[in-house]
Amino acid sequence: MKTQRVPEATINRLSVYSRFLERLDEKGIITVSSNDIAEGVGVSPPQVRKDLAYFGEFGTRGVGYNVQDLMRYTLKILGLNEPWPLLLVGAGNLGIALSSYYRGFNNRGFSVVGIFDNDLNKIGRKVGNLDVYPPEMMPEIINKHGVRVGVIAVPAKTAQDVADLMVKNGLDAILNFAPVSLNVPDHIVYRNVDLSVNLEILTFNLGLRESQIDTGNL
Amino acid sequence: MKTQRVPEATINRLSVYSRFLERLDEKGIITVSSNDIAEGVGVSPPQVRKDLAYFGEFGTRGVGYNVQDLMRYTLKILGLNEPWPLLLVGAGNLGIALSSYYRGFNNRGFSVVGIFDNDLNKIGRKVGNLDVYPPEMMPEIINKHGVRVGVIAVPAKTAQDVADLMVKNGLDAILNFAPVSLNVPDHIVYRNVDLSVNLEILTFNLGLRESQIDTGNL
DNA sequence: TAGATTGTTAATCGATTAACAATC
DNA sequence: TAGATTGTTAATCGATTAACAATC
């Protein structure tokens, strides 16, 4: 078995396919073609087949894919066949929203099990059914729930400190919502999500369009 | 002037450079090299120069870039030389968080000027200093503030309806946080932000790493 | 001038698309 | 069998990287 390097874009799409399949399954749909999936999520049909081919042969020629089977395969590939307890740092607005977002009906197995903040005004408060803890309690919560993934929802200034603390406490992966790029050791799986960047790509494209109209190009 | 197609990845990075430059400027740093920027945001130096080259020549050979000038250029390119009033639909947790996020100190000119929901329990409530309005009031708010960009923060089921309404009311761009891909006309600038996808890429990589350890590969 | 760093071209790398044989 | 759709190879396309001439 030659393990080919899987493009990150493929993983990204796989996650989207997976959720699309969940919706089809809810609707009671049994079989789906690469064409259907492609149309449903806005990519090309060969793209869908190529992406799946990195992981195996899941379909039947002339027929398509079994929705439920393919859904389970994709979940398995993404590591979502088991629950993922999350540790969240930052009990501000974004932190509160993320904690309820990841607890939502569509949570795919993610759930925040501990919220942390070093603001004394926030420690001890309730966010949903969770208490806000001081940073010192991290090891206890990590141990109790077997947490491996930390989510950072603090301002840019303190994000690096939080990351360092998470690394020190043995977390394996960090999702950072602060608009800075952080330094973490190579063995940490790390990702930045930047909510502003997406808006700025939008405004860039609005500007682009206007200048195209100006010059008469399309 | 030949307008070369700019890769989306370039715009993405430009937004990151721009924010990095803001931080340098706050610190009073006058000059920066492509090397410094590259290191600060985690890309390669030629990448930085290539990205900038799509838009002009901003540096001085042998010297580098003037921080303040380059910051202003990047803001201009991204369309951030003017304020962007936003319309937000969905007064749930995510909506509330986004509205305060985009009002934050680092808001880059974005500000939510109207929050909408069709839940009668939410209409009339305050979110920060904003009232939650019923959908019928969209045209009024759009007109009053000259809104062009709408943000969708409702559950997957109702997201398409919201998008349709935004299009009908003449918005030019839509940022969708619901985990579905929506159908919008070609003339609408559209983007999906999926908060789960990012976590799932993390868990995929954790799984990948484990299997690599298992097989002794690196 | 010598040293530094940009802007840009050419080479490389990787991802997407097109096409089709395999096969249900 | 005929029609449909997968899995996969080859061709294309696009983005990143390396290298270096230009120039401050």
Identify the DSSP state of A81.
T
Report the gap between the CA of A29 and the closest CA in chain B (Å).
Answer: 17
List the structure tokens of B184.
């919008």
pLDDT of B208 over the 70 cut:
yes
Supply the pTM of this predicted model: 0.92
Q: How far is B71 from chain A (nearest CA, A)?
A: 14
Please tell me the distance in Å from B44's CA to the nearest CA on chain A: 14
Name the β-bridge partners of B65. B32
What residue type is assigned to position B76 of the chain? K
| Angstrom distances, CA of residue B58 to CA of A120, A204, B6, B11, B70 | 46, 19, 17, 16, 7
pLDDT at B212: 67
Give the residue from chain A lying closest to B217, CA to CA.
A3
Q: Which among A179, A180, A201 has CB closest to B11?
A: A201
How many CB contacts within 8 angstroms connect chain A with chain B?
173
Mutate to test the interface with A, among B181, B202, B210 (most CBs of A within 10 A): B202
What's the mean pLDDT in A61-76? 97
Nearest nucleic acid nucleotide to A47, CA to C1' distance: C16
Higher-scoring residue by pLDDT: B55, B218:
B55
Return positions of chain D under 7 A from a protein CB: 2-9, 14-19, 22-24
Q: What number is the average pLDDT over the span B61-66?
A: 97
Statement: the CB of B62 is under 7 Å from strand C: yes
Residues of chain A positioned with their CB less than 8 A from the CB of B218: none
The string of pLDDT tens digits covering residues B138-153 is 999 999 999 999 999 9
From the CA of A7 to the C1' of C14: give the distance in Å: 9
Task: Look at phi and psi of residue B3 and say left if phi exceeds 0, alpha if psi is from -120 to 50, else beta.
Answer: beta
Predicted confidence (pLDDT) per residue in A20-37, tens digit: 999 999 999 999 999 999
Instruction: Report how far residue A199's alpha carbon sits from residue A123's, in angstroms, rounded to the nearest whole number.
Output: 32
**What average pLDDT does the segment A183-205 reach?**
93
CB atoms within 10 A of CB A3: 11
Strand C nucleotides within a 7 Å radius of protein CB atoms: 3-9, 14-19, 22-24
Q: Per-residue b/e over A188-213, b at no fewer than 16 CB within 10 Å?
A: bbbebbbbbbbbbbbbbbbbbeeeee
| Per-residue pLDDT reduced to its tens digit, A49-61 | 999 999 999 999 9
Look at residue B216 and tell me whether its pLDDT is greater than 60. no
Token pair 């201009």: residue: B76
3-state secondary structure of A69: helix
Residue B213 CB neighbours (<10 A): 10
Q: Residue B9: is it exposed, middle or buried by C-beta count within 10 angstroms (0-12/13-18/19+)?
A: exposed
CB contact under 8 A, A195 and B156: no
B15 and A197 within 8 Å at the Cβ level: the answer is yes
Rounded Cα gap, residues B108 and B172, in angstroms: 19
Q: What is the pLDDT of residue A206?
A: 95
State whether A200 and B93 contact (CB < 8 Å): no
The 3-class secondary structure across B140-208, one letter per residue, is HHHHHHCCCEEEECCCHHHHHHHHHHHHHCCCCEEEECCCCCCCCCCCCEEEECCHHHHHHHHHHHHHH
- Describe the crossing of helices B67-77 and B8-26 by its angle, rounded to 10 degrees: 140
Q: d(Cα A164, Cα A150) in Å, to the nearest integer?
A: 11
